[in-house]
Amino acid sequence: MTPDRLAPYARLPRAYHDLRLLHSTVDAFGRAHWLLRTPAETPGPYDAVIVTVDDGGSYATALSSVSARHPRIDALPDGGFVVADARSRTGDGQVQAFDALGRLSWTFRVGDAIEHLLTDESGDLWIGYFDEGVFGDDPLSAAGARRWSATGEALWAYSPPPGGDWIADCYALNVDRRAAWVYPYTSFPLVEVRDGRPPRLRTTPVRGASGVAVDGERVAFLGGYRKDRDRLILASLGETTVDVLSTSRVTCADGTPLYRRRHIVSRGSRLYVRERSNAEWGVLNISGS
């Protein structure tokens, strides 16, 4: 079996390597972002910087009074950012929206136990929650997957389509220009969400993947339990099922095995993977492959 290699995608400039990494992502426009702060821990809100790498160039946006202790970040289409705390209690300013100059614009809550936070090209927030939020006492996260506006307006919440179950844990979430795709535990269906249509469920034989890429009628699942953390399954979308075509393995760009604690961002046909180094992103694109 010949492994598929990630292609090098984006690297944090060396000038920022002494700062502490809090979170990193790749946004709806393909820009990579790193949220960083000084290594020294101080109680309460802190100053941070988001370093953006776009088409080989880079720039930094300074943020002040960041409150998230377990931050998740993404970019807004106007050049601003959202910073959300993965853990939240009723009454806190869990999500902070900053403008393009790094100034705090507003705060709101989206529910406890954020596993995935992805903004789309319009600036809406798509959020997948892990089990402690789904089964906790916070009604905002009980649905398992939701869509919010950038100002905190609730736009959509998952409910099971015919033949489906409630989400126990959102293992993977893909947000593209035209659709979002939810891959939840326990039965691991692939649920297609489009504006103006009821969610469409397809059953899959794939268990435990942590990344999902979709290109037309093709789909790829990256990851799995234990020894399958580097597994790549290519499949086709049927009317009600996902049908496996092939199985292979994925390595880092240099051919070394994928790190066990890697981070995956699913965007359309692309799987972005933060490799062994926190400073580097690789990519696997199933479009045309």
Q: What is the DSSP string of the chain?
A: -PPEEPEEEEE--GGGTTSEEEEEEE-TTS-EEEEEE-SS--SS-EEEEEEEEETTEEEEEEEEEE--SSEEEEE-TTS-EEEEESS--TTS--EEEE-TTS-EEEEE---S-EEEEEE-TTS-EEEEE-HHHHSSS-TTTTTSEEEE-TTS-EEEE--PPTT----SEEEEEEE-SS-EEEEEETT--EEEE-TTS--EEEB-S--S-SEEEEETTEEEEE--SGGGTTEEEEEEE-SSBEEEEEEEEEE-TTSPBPPTT-EEEEETTEEEEE-SSTTEEEEEE-TT-
pLDDT, position 92: 82
- The domain spanning residue 139 has which CATH number? 2.120.10
For residue 70, give its domain range.
4-285
Q: What is the pTM of this model?
A: 0.96
Candidates 119, 114, 125; CA nearest to 170 is 114
In this structure, is the dihedral angle defined by the CA atoms of residues 228, 230, 234 and 235, taken in order, positive or negative? positive
pLDDT of amino acid 1 = 47
pLDDT value at residue 163? 87
> Structurally, how many domains does the chain consist of?
1
Please return the burial class of 258, using the count of CB atoms within 10 Å of its CB with bins 0-12, 13-18 and 19+: buried
Q: Can you give the C-alpha Rg of the chain in angstroms?
A: 18
Q: What is the 3-state secondary structure (H, E, C) of 38-61?
A: CCCCCCCCEEEEEEEEECCEEEEE
Q: Which residue numbers in the chain have pLDDT < 50?
A: 1
Closest to 230 in 3D by CA, of 254, 205, 256: 256
pLDDT for res 102? 97
